[in-house]
Amino acid sequence: MILRDVMKQVAQRLDTISGLRVFDYPPDRVTPPAAVVSYPDELTFDATYGRGMDRLTLPVVVVVGKASDRASRDQLSAYCDGTGSRSIKAVVEGGEGEFTAFHTVRVASAEFDVLRIAGTDYIAAVFDLDIVGEGT
């Protein structure tokens, strides 16, 4: 797998969610609602012999509104649903046949956090995408 291509293709798929600003790399600043495809903590090579398979966990950070707003809770909830047009899981996994940079993707989990951006606390979810592809 080529990391740059993996990040771009995941971002392209996320860009199909209406109203969500999507970045295929961590930018200097974001305006919510936004999704940022970040760098993996680890890329595992040679999960099978002969460069047959590599694996990585790719974090996608979705930032919505102020942490103290009820509307932010509702908006983040839609991205965290297991199904629906705003569901990160459904949208990413629904595009599996379109990806050429890797073979399979599974949205494995979401963790919640409050991020400070330009002095404002925003509620966010970090989705971990388990991605497997051919070694290059």
Which range of residues forms the domain containing residue 109? 3-133
Distance CA 7, CA 107 (A): 14
Q: What is the DSSP letter of 40?
A: -
Residue 27: what are its φ and ψ, rounded to 5°? -85, 170
pLDDT of residue 48: 62
Distance CA 32, CA 6 (A): 23
Domain harbouring 19, CATH code = 3.30.70
Total domain count, the chain: 1
Q: What is the mean pLDDT of residues 40-53?
A: 77
pTM of the predicted model, to two decimals? Answer: 0.92
pLDDT band at 68 (very low <50, low <70, confident <90, very high): confident
